[in-house]
Structure 1
Amino acid sequence: MDLLKELKKIEKEAEKELKELADLDQLEELRIKYLGKKGAIQSIFSQMGKIASDKRPVVGKEANQLKSKIENWLNEQKEVLESKAAKERFKKEKIDVTLPGAKVKAGRQHPLSLITRELEDVFIGLGYTIAEGPEVESEYYNFEALNIPEHHPARDLQDTLYIDDNYLLRTHTSPVQIRTMEAQEPPVRIIAPGRVYRSDELDASHSPIFHQAEGLVIDKGISFSDLKGTIELIIEALFGEDRDVRFRPSYFPFTEPSAEVDVSCIVCGGEGCPLCSRTGWLEIMGAGMVHPNVLEMSGYDSEYYSGYAFGVGLDRLVLLKYGIDDIRVLYENDKRFLHQF
């Protein structure tokens, strides 16, 4: 077994292959082929035990010298190939500064943002302030403080997304009203827009995530006529002066008396059409006078103070105002949809 001849053969093959290298990937393959743990040089070292002891120092020296020579060749070729690759990359990345710039396509405000800003502007003009609160709420603020007792149907898992036994994703922005009342003395004039959650299936008219804006006014001598005048002003600002408004008796645990508010159909003007189910009216919000129990639980004297509250679904306002027939398009992140507004 002539290992010296084998070393000469390896040297010639390595030198030839290194001259034919085209890229850094091939260089790495050659490094593994000749210098790797199972490479050609290591193969020579593994066979040293099979030759005469007096030849081992000579073969070992030659093998180490060849190893160093191949390492140097590889490093030299690596520098050449890296320089070549950099030049190619720079050539591809070269920018002609005389060319016109790429046009940046600007987005548009989402219709939910538009309707929220519009409502906020109306109420700020009326002297209200914008209030916010957490979307993860306790049962106390979401239900109990709003006169919704423990076994009320609204607490059912079919309606409410619970995180644990005490915390949930808020089902309305009414908790913001309670937090505001606890934090300040009357008078209170706030509007609380925000995202809310219900355990609903997603279809053309329902979504497990939607948006509400709720208003609250607490002061001395507040009456239902104040509520009626405020709502009529809101509808006029959003839908124009030619809309009729109707109040129907209803029930909400946190208001007494309570009412559903309807507006004359924006399509048929009250004549009757598919949108309004041939009734001429569209339900738009719920409202009422703040329940005395809610006032007392928030630390207000219900014999001295009174107030009204109302809540409107912003998604529904968007559908009505812009003639959209499917709530799902509000959440699809389609720029083509946004550019219509």
Structure 2
Amino acid sequence: MKERIDLLLREVEDFGSKTAAEIEAFRIEMLGKKGKITALFNDFREMSGDLKREFGKPLNELKNRAAAKVNELKSAAEEQIDLGSGEDLSRPANFQSLGSRHPVNLVKNEIVSIFRRIGFNVSAGPEIEDDWHNFTALNFPEEHPARDMQDTFFVARDPDWALRTHTSSVQVRVMENSKPPIRTLSPGRVFRNEAISARSHCFFHQVEGLYIDEGVSFADLKQTLLFFAQEFFGPETKIRLRPSYFPFTEPSAEMDVYWGLENERDYRMTKGTGWLEVLGCGMVDPNVLKNNGIDPEKYSGFAFGIGVERIALHRFQIPDIRMLFENDLKFLEQFKAAY
């Protein structure tokens, strides 16, 4: 027994390793259920009392020394992992691998933040809508020619359900479930069955606004849009409103901002006029208020809809709208420092 204890003690003292796997293998070899030291303890139990008194102490010392050696080597290995990489763990994290915001989101978030500052809250709704919320409640009667203005993706050939063609459907839901005063924004993705080209896509993003209260006038609409234009495009920005037509507003208008004619790109963007179309707007049609349970004799309101992609293309000088949705990392990484 004494020779076996001395032999194992020398093995313990001579063992050295820097890898966690080898240290664990040594622990199992010595102290595991079928280990060498465990086998000595099994034999120890069969000895007489005199032999137990003789070998009990050195056997326990062997076991304690083996356990201490394992712990020492494990601690040294862990320190080697922390220091061997050469990394200073107290340094700030490296954020270079983080992604960037999408140009559409950059523009959308800026638009929303501007209108939030003047009291507009944000509302959301489903992208698959029924006919009432997408058309009828917004003054699109059945067979009305205005429905032809928007080529629609119908769901499973069911004319009662479709991918929403505008986020005005969200405004309908707000009017149904709220009482004036209402001041809300509806940012989101919409769908039109249009040919995909450099300037148009079958889906795009809008930020639509709605304000309903007593005594709301077209002058309120104009001042709100002027505030937005000067906050977004610059304090010297000029706007103009041109008569237009939308089924859910009367009167209706298109708003342009003066972009200028300083270079060839400006001529191309504005078609030589210097003016850039930004949004459609108008006073909420009384029929829309009536359809949604709001008294048009007491309340009036205005609405507007901003196309996010168009502004993003101009702001970041992107020549093709398809580039926004191709998930090209080389393209998207350009916007890491945009905001």
1:290 aligns with 2:288: no
More displaced 10-residue stretch of structure 1: 249-258 or 316-325: 316-325
What is residue 39 of structure 1 aligned with on the other side?
Answer: none
How many residues of Structure 1 are paired with residues of Structure 2 in the alignment?
247
What is residue 220 of structure 1 aligned with on the other side?
Answer: 214
CA distance in 1, matches of 2:281, 2:198: 25
The DSSP-based 3-state class of the residue aligned with 1:194 is: strand
For residues 1-341 of structure 1, the aligned pairs below 5 Å read 98-99=84-85, 105-156=97-148, 159-163=151-155, 164-265=158-259, 268=262, 273-341=267-335
Closer, same or farther in 2 for the Cα pair 1:270/1:244, shift >3 Å?
Answer: farther
Deviations along 1:115-168, one digit per CA (max 9) or x if unpaired, are 111111111111111000100000111010000111134534981000022100
CA distance in 2, matches of 1:110, 1:272: 24
Structure 2: state its 5+ residue gaps. Answer: 1-80, 88-93
Closer, same or farther in 2 for the Cα pair 1:99/1:215, shift >3 Å?
Answer: same
The DSSP-based 3-state class of the residue aligned with 2:104 is: helix
Q: How far off is 1:209 after superposition?
A: 1.1
The DSSP-based 3-state class of the residue aligned with 2:193 is: coil
Instruction: Compute the RMSD of aligned alpha carbons.
Output: 2.4
What is residue 31 of structure 1 aligned with on the other side?
Answer: none
Residue pair 1:248, 1:261 contacting (<8 A) in 2 also: yes
Closer, same or farther in 2 for the Cα pair 1:272/1:278, shift >3 Å?
Answer: farther
CA distance in 2, matches of 1:321, 1:222: 32
CA distance in 2, matches of 1:274, 1:171: 28
Closer, same or farther in 2 for the Cα pair 1:115/1:100, shift >3 Å?
Answer: farther
Residue pair 2:146, 2:247 contacting (<8 A) in 1 also: no
CA distance in 1, matches of 2:283, 2:250: 5
AA partner of residue 234 (structure 1): F
AA partner of residue 182 (structure 1): E
Residue pair 1:154, 1:160 contacting (<8 A) in 2 also: no
Closer, same or farther in 2 for the Cα pair 1:218/1:269, shift >3 Å?
Answer: farther
Structure 1: state its 5+ residue gaps. Answer: 1-95
Closer, same or farther in 2 for the Cα pair 1:269/1:283, shift >3 Å?
Answer: farther
Q: How far off is 1:298 after superposition?
A: 0.5
Closer, same or farther in 2 for the Cα pair 1:105/1:152, shift >3 Å?
Answer: same
Deviations along 1:260-318, one digit per CA (max 9) or x if unpaired, are 11111256399961211111111111000000000000001101000000001011111
Residue pair 1:270, 1:281 contacting (<8 A) in 2 also: no
The DSSP-based 3-state class of the residue aligned with 1:132 is: coil
TM superposition score normalised by structure 2:
0.68
TM superposition score normalised by structure 1:
0.68
AA partner of residue 164 (structure 2): R
Q: How far off is 1:104 after superposition?
A: 6.4
CA distance in 1, matches of 2:244, 2:328: 38
Q: How far off is 1:338 after superposition?
A: 2.0
What is residue 39 of structure 2 aligned with on the other side?
Answer: none
The DSSP-based 3-state class of the residue aligned with 2:270 is: coil
AA partner of residue 220 (structure 1): E
AA partner of residue 241 (structure 1): P
Percent identity (aligned)? 48
